[in-house]
Structure 1
Amino acid sequence: MTAQGSFAPDETFAAPLLAWYDDHGRKDLPWQRDRSAYRVWLSEVMLQQTQVRTVIPYFERFVAALPDLRTLAEAPQDRVLALWSGLGYYSRARNLHRTAQICVAEHGAELPRDVEALSALPGIGRSTAAAILAQTWGERHAILDGNVRRVLARWHGLRGWPGETATQRELWRLAERHTPHERVADYTQAIMDLGATLCVRSRPHCLRCPVAPGCVALRDGLTAQLPARKPTREKPTRATTMLIVRDAQRRTLLERRPPTGVWAGLWSLPETDDAAGASRRLLDRYAVRVDDGVALARFVHTFSHYHLEIAPLLLERAVPLDRVADAPDRAWYGPDELESLGLPAPVRKLLQTLNEEVR
């Protein structure tokens, strides 16, 4: 894979970008204040596939509760997942927790300064490691997140899908080439800001772009086509019935999901493929007797690879028949206890709506 058009010298890219950043860049984001490797790392992980305005309140709440790497490592996983609940892609939170524990055990409760050691930790990888080192200590390392890929693909007229190996390799080469030897932290933030605010996916603001004069996509009218989109496949739809089982005290029966798969490790509602047999399933599997269920409005939750059609079934006046209903990964929680749990976003919203209707 080769870029289209001739390459301009590096100074035609980094210099105007930094000048633009001085006047227009974001310099007061929460993780830029009291900057530390921990705070930069947390922000970079949260910002993976998530916009800044969404991340800010989660970041502030997370660091208020777990202000450093050691407190994160020592926190129960349920606490970490509860703080993350709603951000999605929960493997990011589990990887944060695991990485913190590794750093306490092997790196003196600090993130390693070596790029290879850092990128080998769970959930970090090459670009995130580079961003941590560049923004915390000003070390010269190139980054290549989604925003940077889009900027470089357009500026150089690179036509391949960035997920392809050859295109990815070329983008890394270009990212390395453009990264300056001075003001690396500012440059790293600047190119991310450019992609997030001007060189956006749809309708980029090319007239305000500081590097527009050298942009091949702008010159050739390709901004709508570059970077190339991933070949699409129609998402399948799956269906499940979620059982909202509540006892006389309005406690809800929840169970922890398996350690792998969708919503791994989170607390969620029991599910069944047979709504008509829900009462029998609850009696046989959970030792809980319930009244007949009331079907609530169906809704769809979309994952990256499929749609999930959820049919909630409300079963009240549940009576636990023995302690089988309180197995280690199964428990009853009152409305005021749900906030402290790691719950999938659609489950949390569903339960909050039900509890608010009762008040």
Structure 2
Amino acid sequence: METMANNVAIEKSKTSKIQDVDFDNLSFGSVYSDHMLVCDYKNGEWSAPKVVPYQPITLDPSAKIFHYGQSIFEGMKAYKDEAGKIWLFRPLENWKRLNKSAKRLAIPELPEAYFMDGLNALLQVESDWVPQNPGSSLYIRPFIFASGNGFHASPADEYKFIIACAPSGSYFSGKVKVLIEETYSRAANGGVGYAKAGGNYAGQFYPTQLAAEKGYQQVIWTDDNTHEFIEEAGAMNVFVRIGDTLLTAPTNDRILDGITRKSILDIANDEGIKTEVRKVSVHELVEAAKNGTLKEMFGAGTAAVISPIAGFGYHGEDYDLPELENSYASLLKKRITDIQYNRAEDKFGWRYEVAQ
């Protein structure tokens, strides 16, 4: 039986898996909710989105996603406050970036109403799947891929947009040691590094494996030309605190315009923390570590919000960072999560309430 919400057709699942889920022990992104949003692009236009039971996807072996990699995605979360209200954090930024990625990969852009109305309808159906446990959230994965067929090297004529959800617990990364990459590059000038394209992440896995074999958990990516400037930390934007100044690299063709990154810069400025958006050289980082002015490094992204870095390796030498009692990382993370969970004033207008 179909119903409607926000002009989106809803086909309810006949059964639910929710009673089998241990919400007190959720790993990240490994348990999936009962429904998903589906929207198809055919004959030159997007069809109306529809909420359907979570289910496998059937594709022809000639579907172009398998051959030419037209695939993009976003990462976002839904949060439930103490009163049971559901909130999103800057969702329009995710829609804008999805379309920015789509344009770069010659994928048709998705109308705002399809994204927002579809997301609202899905979350209304899945409201019980948004955990209320401290630090938990419903991870949301919107993605688009080429479903049209053909071996010819050209953009597909059909695409599928899906939003799937996974309730997830607190993301504890522990103490992370990173290796500054000197050989491999995450992205190149004129490439697709600024897009959330699946291939960007596939290309990261091998260098990260090599770093893991040396005892590091992640890689600090450097520029593709000289490997002299730091750019990202694994799949996250990277911040460095030298003295009392918070530094991060400017976005460009190679660096993702992270929503958490932008939020950190705004909150830091609101806190009176001096920030600089500029190139940060590996030499500057090493010298700051040696003379004691390097106070903090952390990654920033949707999953962990902020992931502190305990030390880094470069040219066969390790540099440990001090453990600070009142770190910028902990202050900024608390400011952001308090907004996300509706525990504090949102002076920036970032919080978005989902109608229930």
TM bracket, shorter-chain basis: under 0.3
Larger Rg: 1
TM-score between the two structures when normalised by the length of structure 1 = 0.25
Give the structure with the larger helix fraction. Answer: 1
Give the structure with the larger strand fraction. Answer: 2
